[in-house]
Amino acid sequence: MQHNMERKARKACRAFFFFAGLSAVAFVGLGSLTLDAQPPPPGGRGGRGAAAQGGRPEAYPSRPPADPASVERGKALYGVNCQFCHGADTRGGDSGPSLLRSGIVLDDQHGELMAPVVRAGRPGMPKFTLTDDQIADIAAFAHTFKAAGYDESRFKPPSIVVGDAKAGETFFNGKCASCHSSTGDLRGLATTVADPRLLQQTWLLPGSGAGRGGPPPVVVKPTTVTVTLASGETVDGRLDRIDDFMVALTQADGTRRSFRTSGDVPKVEIHDPLQPHKDLLRTYSDADIHNVTAFLVTLK
């Protein structure tokens, strides 16, 4: 009996030292891994920013000064193509998201990440046919804004009413009068909207000119769609979704329907009340925008 007890004690002792040795090896291994590990790149995600005091990465990147000529070109392009949705200071508004804290913009260096979005568009955002150099210039301008500061004054003149009202009337009669009336709907808009900046944003893209915390001055009718099936039956309704594979709509009685699409089958016709405005966005010059705004202000 005593012999068996002694044998069990020796086994327990050997097991103790065996597992103790494993623990020591594991501890030394972890210690060496800790000592050999490389520190993470400064700035967190994507190497964003430089290390701040205390070893913590900055929340937003610090960039070297960009080419002033590129920034100036980007400022002009941004003003024509982007400002009406993303704001003069890139902080966005009720009609478009902020670019100041956008992950795409923060990780972008020279427009390479912004380009696919600019060219493909997004829901509520039209596609823009801009060159790589033009997008790089817009990126250079957007990167000059610091998330920690507020510098709208760089892009905010004392008054935006700097155009030629007579030239604006000529442009209006040639491009807009087929749908709008200077003595009807636009006179009512100009009378209702006192702020020229809000007026300009509203006529450029109706439904986007919303003040912070308030509705837009103009409520745009929803986009509708007509689907013509192979049988000849047509289905009309408010467009809910469309992509390369399907179209979904809501009929007048509230019934929701969706259809698979393959090429041009079934036939899908989209009726976007803002399409003429979206088409014109790509053709406006700075002078056109200033001139039409100056003309609309005279209608009050």
Which range, of 56-70, 81-95, 134-148, averages the lowest pLDDT?
56-70
Q: What is the spatial distance between Cα 227 and Cα 251, in angstroms, rounded to a whole number? A: 11
pTM of the model: 0.51
201 pLDDT exceeds 80?
A: yes
Q: What is the spatial distance between Cα 46 and Cα 39, in angstroms, rounded to a whole number? A: 14
Burial of residue 284, with CB atoms counted within 10 A of its CB: 0-12 exposed, 13-18 middle, 19 or more buried: middle
Encode pLDDT of 105-144 as tens digits.
888 999 999 999 999 988 878 899 999 999 999 999 998 8
Mean pLDDT (the chain, rounded): 79
Q: Parallel, antiparallel, or unpaired: how do β-strands 256-260 and 246-250 relate?
A: antiparallel
Encode pLDDT of 244-254 as tens digits.
899 999 999 99
C-beta atoms surrounding 226 within 10 Å:
16
51 pLDDT exceeds 60?
A: no
Q: What is the spatial distance between Cα 273 and Cα 36, in angstroms, rounded to a whole number? A: 63
Encode pLDDT of 149-195 as tens digits.
555 445 555 678 999 999 999 999 999 999 999 999 999 999 988 88
Is 30 in a helix, a strand, or coil?
helix
127 DSSP assignment: -
The continuous run of DSSP H or E covering 203 comes out as: helix 196-204
Among 209, 206, 185, residue whose Cα is nearest residue 197: 209
For residue 270, the cross-strand partners are: 225
63 pLDDT exceeds 90?
A: no
pLDDT at 216: 80
The answer as to CATH 1.10.760.10 being correct for domain 69-155 is yes
Assigned CATH for 224-272 = 2.30.30
Q: What is the spatial distance between Cα 119 and Cα 197, in angstroms, rounded to a whole number? A: 27
For the packed helices 286-297 and 185-192, what is the interaxial angle rounded to 10 degrees? 80
Q: Are 84 and 93 in contact (CB under 8 A)?
A: no
For residue 269, the cross-strand partners are: 226
Residues of the chain above pLDDT 70, percent: 73
Q: Which residues, 6+ apart, have CB-to-CB distance to 143 below 8 Å?
A: 63, 66, 105, 108
14 pLDDT exceeds 70?
A: no
